[in-house]
Structure 1
Amino acid sequence: MYIIAGLGNPTREYDKTRHNVGFEAIDVLADKLGIRVTDKKHKAVYGLGMAGYQKVILSKPQTYMNLSGESIRSMADFYKVEPENIIIICDDINLTEGQLRIRKKGSAGGHNGLKNIIQHLGTQEFPRIRVGVGEKPKEMDLADYVLGRFPKEQEMIMADAYQAAADAAVMMVEDGADQAMNYFNRKK
């Protein structure tokens, strides 16, 4: 079984913000796999289904970004899912808009959501799909940037990125992280 969790912030005020690209990717993935993400438990909205021959849980933690680990840990403990089968989808300001970077493990890289997940799981050994949201302008506060929305001209780029992140997650489940890394990390 796999948990695929997209990070973001709950409530409408954060819809379509840079920090919520994980939620957007989960919505695309849910449509692709025919999974309804409507159950509420483990401080998340989630749904169970299949990706190929694997059981998957699609999750959108409702703890706010900086406390995402609480939800991930609760769900992992309940369903007995090991960290290597927990795929996290999140934003990355170090990648250009729409670029994906897949890793099997690693540091938080300054991302507070990942930092909290590492803290709660007690390991960095879980795969992640980072979705580029572009570099913050020098004169802008980081929080204002990641909680801001994409300009109209980037919306199509990001829609393609959410589709690619969903495809990458399915490939990771069905064929392994190495295959997904080889395919998606070369693009752009």
Structure 2
Amino acid sequence: MRLLPGVPDSSPALSSGVLGFASAAFARLGFSRVSFGLANPSSMPAPASKAAASSATAADAGAGAQKPWLFVGLGNPGRMYKGTRHNVGFEIIDAIAEAEDISISSKQFKALVGKGLIGDVPIMLAKPQTFMNASGESVGQLVSYFKIPLNQLVVIYDDLDLPFAKMRLLPKGGHGGHNGMRSIIDHLKSRNFPRLRIGIGRPPEELGAISFVLQSFTKQEKEELEVTFQKGLQAVRIMVHEGFNKSATFVNTPQPSSEEIDRPSPSNG
């Protein structure tokens, strides 16, 4: 049950400026263009010898194998939606960017995009600016242009069916009624990509779902979400360095409450 009609972006999807930004940004971060699927073989200098050619081919293959992870947070652009429940995906992307010192300042493919490293692993952070219901327009273009493997695309979004501030990390699945996810699945023509769901709770009986998801968080809820965002950040770090399965175990395994931790163990006698 997700809302707000998509508002398409009429600006051109590609321009020479996009390519220039990508090349310069990757060079500053120490990435080859090959690692982001942007290599142009005709522009590479010819090796001086057969041995050099073999070495260059191996190096190119290794660089090409290191595709970036793409983490996409879903939300709605504009000041009026900032800090609302429906924008929790944007907020966790901002938290990751701040922790890893990544600037999300480039406008590419109808999204605000940041590129950086977690350790030595290249990542991209994106916040589609198409409005929720058209998120797939942006995500589809990003995945296609940067040649992102679907198992390295992670979509982060709000979920009414999870308890507040709880997270669930899954390797694939349907849209569950979330129109942003519906749009992404339609554009990718696949549901086989990871997703990190963040619970926003159920609306009270006197408040409809539409009004509820467009509400701002209370002060207490914001404090609870800070803990969730820190766990989400840790999950992302585990994922890029140790793999999806280990990250999913970290996220999905119930943690003992503080009361359970403090409770004395029953005596054996």
TM (norm. structure 2) is 0.68
Alignment of 1:10-159 (within 5 A): 10-159=77-226
Moved more, 173-182 or 121-130: 173-182
Moved more, 133-142 or 78-87: 133-142
User: 2:25 — aligned with what?
Assistant: none
Q: CA deviation at 1:180?
A: 1.0
Distance 1:176 1:20 in 2: 27
Distance 1:73 1:36 in 2: 22
What is the aligned-residue RMSD (CA, Å)?
A: 1.2
Distance 1:163 1:63 in 2: 27
Q: CA deviation at 1:8?
A: 0.6
Percent of residue pairs identical: 38
Kindly provide the CA deviation profile for residues 132-163 of structure 1, in whole angstroms up to 9, marking residues without a partner as x: 11112233221211111112221100121122
Greater relative contact order (CA < 8 Å, ≥ 6 in sequence): 1
Distance 1:9 1:163 in 2: 22
Code of the residue aligned with 2:141 in structure 1: it is S
User: 2:11 — aligned with what?
Assistant: none
Kindly provide the CA deviation profile for residues 93-116 of structure 1, in whole angstroms up to 9, marking residues without a partner as x: 111111010001001111111111
Structure 1 counterpart SS, 2:207: coil
Distance 1:138 1:117 in 2: 30
Code of the residue aligned with 2:218 in structure 1: it is P
Q: CA deviation at 1:53?
A: 2.4
Q: CA deviation at 1:57?
A: 0.6
Code of the residue aligned with 2:151 in structure 1: it is E
Moved more, 39-48 or 173-182: 173-182
Runs of 5+ in structure 2 lacking a partner? 1-67, 256-269
Structure 2 counterpart SS, 1:84: helix
Kindly provide the CA deviation profile for residues 116-139 of structure 1, in whole angstroms up to 9, marking residues without a partner as x: 111111111110111111112233
TM (norm. structure 1) is 0.96
Q: Please identify which structure carries the higher strand content.
A: 1
Structure 1 counterpart SS, 2:169: strand
* Higher Cα radius of gyration: 2
1:18–1:133 CA contact under 8 A, matched in 2: yes
Q: CA deviation at 1:47?
A: 0.7
Q: CA deviation at 1:33?
A: 1.2
1:103–1:181 CA contact under 8 A, matched in 2: yes
1:99–1:187 CA contact under 8 A, matched in 2: no
Kindly provide the CA deviation profile for residues 18-61 of structure 1, in whole angstroms up to 9, marking residues without a partner as x: 01111110111001111100001110001111122221110011
Code of the residue aligned with 1:46 in structure 2: it is V
Q: Any runs of at least 4 consecutive aligned residues in structure 1 with deviations exceeding 3 A, and if so which?
A: none
1:44–1:62 CA contact under 8 A, matched in 2: yes
Q: How many equivalent pairs are there? A: 188
Structure 1 counterpart SS, 2:154: strand
Q: CA deviation at 1:5?
A: 0.6
Moved more, 66-75 or 160-169: 160-169
Distance 2:232 2:86 in 1: 15
Moved more, 173-182 or 120-129: 173-182
